[in-house]
Amino acid sequence: MRIRRTAAAIALTLAAALPAATAPLAAAAAAVRAPDFPTGTVTAADGRTLFADPAGRSLQLRGFNVDKYDEATEADLRSIVAHGFNLIRLDITWARLEPAPGRYDAAELARLQQLMGWADRYGLLVLVDFHQDVYGPAFGGGQDGVPAWATDDDGLPFTPDPDDWFAEYFEPSVQAAFTHLYDDPALRRAQTDFYTHIARTLRGDPALLGYDLFNEPSGPFDGDPTDPAVQVSSVAALETGRLALMYRRLIAAVRAVDTRSWLFVEPTVLVGEGVPTLLPGFRDPRPGAARIGYAPHFYDTAVEDGGDWNPSDGFIQAYTAAVTAYPRAHRMPVVVGEWGPPDADTPGNTELVQAQVTAMEGFAGGWTMWYWGEGTGGYTPLDPQGAPHPGDAPVFGPYATAVAGLPLAEAYTPATGGYTLRYTVGGSGANTRIVLPPTAYPAGARLRVAGAGRALVRLRQPRGGTPGSALIAVPGARPGAAVTVTLTPA
C-alpha cells in the first residue's frame, strides 16, 4: 500500500473494498481487535462524555439490534461488519433463558455464547440487552420478557390491542405485574439471581461491551394513563423510586461477578415525548472509574403509528433537549439503544433518518438501529437483495471509529458522498481510524488531511469485513492542533 507524506496536506485515492490492495496490511490488521474496548471516557469540547480507549482516543460505536426473534446467524454478524459497523445490541429475554425457577435452558445459553463467539470472530462489540415488551409472555408476546412464573397480575383483566400493542402497558394486569416485580422480595431475588447468572456466564468475553439493564421500563400509573399529566407524574414517581431502586440492585448483581463491563440504564419511553428523565445518578461499585452509561431510545410516536414524519413537528428539537442534560450532569456516555422508522423510504421518514443521525452526532457516543434484516419496510435497513434502502443511506456512511484526540464536528452527505471530520490532536500519537463502507464508496474515495505538519495515511481491511479503513496518523503534531479530514467519492 502506497504511503505519502506532505508538509501541509495530503490527498490520495483509497479503494473502499480492495482485498488485493490491502493484503500487505492484512496480517497486521488481523492481529488488532476492532473496535477497541472502551476503558474510560473523555469529555468533548461541547460537554459530551465519550468512550475512550487506553490511548485516550475518542471511540464511536454504531450498529444494529439483533436476535429478539431468535434468528440471527453468523452470516448476519459478518454482514453487519462488512457494511462498516462495530456494535450489536443483542436482545435476550429472561423467559427464554430461565423457563422455570432456577432451571436454565442449556440450548439457549449455548446459543448466547455462540453469538458472542461470532461477534468476537468478526470484531464486533456486544451490548447485551435484557429485553421485554409488555412485561412478558403471560400477556401474549411469545418468549419476550419476564417469564410467566415470575408474573403476578393480581388476577386483573388483560385485553390485547392488536392495533396498538403499546397501549397494553396500561392494562391493569400489566401494571400490577410490574409493581410486583419492583416490590416483591421473592421476585426481586429471582431477577437478581438471573442477572448474576448471565453476567457470570459471559464475564471476560472479549466481545462483551456490557449490559443494557432493562428495556423500556414501565410501571404503575396513578390515574388515567392517557392523561399527559398523569403520565408525567407517574413516570417521575417511577424513575425516582421503584426504577432507581431496581437499577441499584441490578448494578450490584452484575458487579458481584463482573467489574469490567459497562452498565447502561434506560429512562422510560416518555423521554421520546420530550420529557427529561428524573433518574438519579448511580454509583458504580467497581474499582477505578465508573463504567455506567445512558441508553435512551429515539422514536417518534406518530411515525411508530405508521405516519410519515412531519419535519415541522419539533420532535428532534424536543428530544435532543430532553435527552442531553442527564448524561452530561452525571458524565455518562450515551448509546441510543433503539431508533429508526418502520419504513425509511417515505419522503418524511427519509428526512427523519438524516435528522436523527445528525442529532446523535451531537449527543451520543454510539447507537444501535432497530433492526438488522432484509425486507420492505418493517424496520429492515436492507432491501430483499441485501442493499441498503435509499432512505437509510445516512446510516451506511463513513464515520470515525477512533479519533486520536477530541472530535469537534463530523458530517456525511449521502447525496454527494462528502464527509468531513474535524478534531483536535491528543497527546498519544495514536492513529485516527475512519470506516469507509463499500456501499458509500463503491469505487473508492479521495481523502484529504489538512492542518497537520505532516501526516501518514494508509488503508487497512478490518478483520472479517470488507470495508476499507483509513488510518490517519499525525506524528509530531502538537496536542491541540486542529485537523480536518475530508472524503469525496473517487
The predicted-structure confidence for 465-476, as pLDDT tens digits, reads as follows 557 788 888 777
pLDDT at 329 over 50: yes
| Amino acid occupying residue 22 | T
Q: Can you tell me the mean pLDDT for 233-249?
A: 97
Q: Which residues, 6 or more positions from 119, have their beta carbon under 8 angstroms from its beta carbon?
A: 77, 88, 90, 125, 126, 207
pLDDT at 3 over 60: no
pLDDT of the residue at 443: 85
- The CATH number for 74's domain is 3.20.20.80
Asked if residue 361 lies in contact with residue 411, where contact means CB atoms within 8 angstroms, the answer is: yes
Task: Classify strands 432-436 and 418-425 as parallel, antiparallel or unpaired.
Answer: unpaired
Phi then psi for residue 196, to 5 deg, are: -65, -40
Nearest to 422, CA basis, from 364, 482, 471: 482
The verdict on 320 and 447 lying in the same domain is: no
The verdict on 280 and 191 lying in the same domain is: yes
pLDDT at 97 over 50: yes
pLDDT of the residue at 14: 56
283 compared with 273, residue with greater pLDDT: 283
Task: Classify strands 482-489 and 445-450 as parallel, antiparallel or unpaired.
Answer: antiparallel
The verdict on 449 and 321 lying in the same domain is: no
pLDDT at 31 over 60: no
pLDDT of the residue at 1: 26
Q: Can you tell me the mean pLDDT for 217-229?
A: 91
Per-residue pLDDT tens for 144-165?
899 999 999 999 999 999 888 9
Q: What percent of the chain has pLDDT over 70?
A: 91
The verdict on 287 and 157 lying in the same domain is: yes
Confidence of residue 463 (pLDDT cuts 50, 70, 90): low
pLDDT of the residue at 63: 98
Q: What is the DSSP string of 284-314?
A: --SSSS--EEE--EE--HHHHTTPPP-GGG-
Q: Can you tell me the mean pLDDT for 348-355?
A: 98
* Average predicted confidence (pLDDT) for the chain: 90
- Among the candidates 359, 378, 396, a domain finishes at 396
The rounded distance, in Å, linking the Cα atoms of 291 and 407 is 21
Q: Can you tell me the mean pLDDT for 334-360?
A: 98
Q: Can you tell me the mean pLDDT for 313-331?
A: 96
Per-residue pLDDT tens for 48-62?
999 999 999 999 999
The verdict on 353 and 464 lying in the same domain is: no
pLDDT of the residue at 36: 83
Range of the domain at 151: 60-396
The verdict on 336 and 321 lying in the same domain is: yes
- The CATH number for 49's domain is 2.60.40.1180
pLDDT at 93 over 70: yes
Instruction: State the alpha helices, DSSP H only, in 279-425.
Output: 301-304, 315-329, 347-363
The verdict on 30 and 88 lying in the same domain is: no
The verdict on 433 and 353 lying in the same domain is: no
The verdict on 438 and 344 lying in the same domain is: no
- Among the candidates 351, 370, 396, a domain finishes at 396
Confidence of residue 430 (pLDDT cuts 50, 70, 90): confident
Asked if residue 192 lies in contact with residue 250, where contact means CB atoms within 8 angstroms, the answer is: yes
Q: In the chain, how many domains are there? A: 2
The rounded distance, in Å, linking the Cα atoms of 196 and 261 is 13
The verdict on 54 and 174 lying in the same domain is: no
pLDDT at 88 over 60: yes
From residue 278, give the alpha-carbon distance in Å to each of 47, 53, 327, 448.
20, 30, 11, 44
Per-residue pLDDT tens for 164-208?
899 999 999 999 999 999 999 999 999 999 999 999 999 999 999
Confidence of residue 427 (pLDDT cuts 50, 70, 90): confident
pLDDT of the residue at 457: 80
Question: What global pTM score does this model have?
Answer: 0.93
Confidence of residue 111 (pLDDT cuts 50, 70, 90): very high
pLDDT at 15 over 80: no
Q: Can you tell me the mean pLDDT for 237-253?
A: 98
Confidence of residue 35 (pLDDT cuts 50, 70, 90): low
The verdict on 40 and 101 lying in the same domain is: no
The rounded distance, in Å, linking the Cα atoms of 18 and 41 is 34
The rounded distance, in Å, linking the Cα atoms of 132 and 168 is 13
pLDDT of the residue at 472: 84
The verdict on 83 and 32 lying in the same domain is: no
pLDDT at 29 over 60: no
- Among the candidates 396, 417, 450, a domain finishes at 396
pLDDT at 464 over 90: no
